[in-house]
Structures are given as C-alpha cells and as structure tokens.
Amino acid sequence: MEQQIIFEDLHTDKNEIEFYAFYNQEDGSVFEIFPGFPKNTDKKFVKVNTEILDSIESGHSNIFSYYVDIKTQNPQLQKKANSNFVLTKIDDVLHRVIEKKWSKIKNPDVQIKYSKKNEVLEFKINPSIKNIQWPGEQEMIFLVTGYNDPNSVKQLIRFTVDELASFPQIHKIKLRSKFSIFTRRLFTNYTLEIK
C-alpha cells in the first residue's frame, strides 16, 4: 500500500521526477523510497532508476527486494538474489503443527522432533532454504500446549529465523504422551515427529 502512495500522491509522471532510496549504512538494507532530492539529511541515499520503480509499483517486487551494495565505491541499488523469499507472517491465526505420520508433507520448511527418551524438542530448518538471507519478519513463536488445546499453554518457545538457520534449536522439556504445538506461521509447511 505504501508503494502505491508514492505515485498516487504526486499527480505527475514519475519519469519527470527523480526518486531516491534511504538505506542502512551498516548492512545496505533499503528502508524508504521517496521523490525529489533529499535536503538536510544525515541519512545515506542512492538514486532509484525507473525500472526498479516500475517493478515496485506493479507489485512484481517490493522495497525489501533490494539492497545497496555498500562495498563498492559507487553504491547502487541491487536486487537481492533471494528477493522472492521475503518473510511475512501468513496470518495472525495460530496454526497447529501436524504430526508427520498424519501429514502428506514430504519436505517441510520447519521440522520439529520430540524425543520422549531424551525429553528434547528440536527445531530444524529445511537445508534447501537454510542459506537464504531472510529479510522481513524474523521472530518465530511456538506454543507447546495440551493436546489440541491452544489455551492450555505448557511452554512458549521463541527464537529468530536467523538463529534457526544457524543451528538447530534444542529445548529440554518433559511432555506428556499427547501434546500439540501451535505457531503463527512464517513458513508454509511445518511437521512434528514424536519418537
């Protein structure tokens, strides 16, 4: 919606106006695109070409699909290699993670395993998406609850996507034979395996 406001509020042809992007000086992430040359600012910025503006306006990409290559002498706006993988929460509804034995999901994005013997709950990310940089929403929250009852919370487990991508998240927890895990989904496919 913010991307549309840029063009709708101007009442002029975007090709007649130069656009610029403010970016983070430490990592090159873009956080604002605006019309006209910035005045009296200590923020770093680069010029945005019309091809990028058209892509954002049409919805083929968004502001998080780009970064500024700060390692070069002339910083320029670049498209991220993984620009199709911007994480946003799917919705605000809690979703129960289905047990693997009841699921048709063969290759989950996030795999959760519980070892009854060791009383360990382990979270792993799919190796095929492990090395992607994750812009956007980062916090993952899991509610360990009574069986099929999201109101009976036994434990809340929280970590970021970057932490999960770096190494499996392991939590020592003693659970009954029947329990459920609920989450606000950032990824599409999750499975739970109980051994």
Do β-strands 44-48 and 19-23 pair in parallel, antiparallel, or remain unpaired? antiparallel
3-state secondary structure of 162: helix
CB atoms inside a 10 Å sphere around CB 144? 20
Using the predicted structure, report yes or no on whether residue 99 has a pLDDT greater than 90.
yes
| Cα of 18 vs its chain's centroid, Å | 30
Q: Cα-flanking dihedrals φ and ψ of residue 184, to 5°?
A: -90, 115
Distance from C-alpha of 193 to C-alpha of 195, rounded to nearest angstrom = 7
Looking at residues 80-90, what average pLDDT do you find?
56
Which is more confident, 168 or 52?
A: 168
pLDDT at residue number 22 = 83
pLDDT single digits (tens) 106-163: 899 999 999 999 999 999 999 888 777 666 678 899 999 999 998 899 999 999 988 9
Two tokens, residue 102: 């009841």
Q: Is 101 exposed, middle or buried (0-12, 13-18, 19+ CB in 10 A)?
A: exposed
Based on its alpha-carbon atoms, the radius of gyration of the chain, rounded to whole angstroms, reads 22
Domain architecture of the chain: domains with CATH: 2-79 (no CATH), 95-194 (2.60.40)
Q: pTM of the full predicted structure?
A: 0.56
Find where tokens 């009383």 sit: 119
Which is more confident, 116 or 185?
A: 116
Distance from C-alpha of 135 to C-alpha of 88, rounded to nearest angstrom = 9
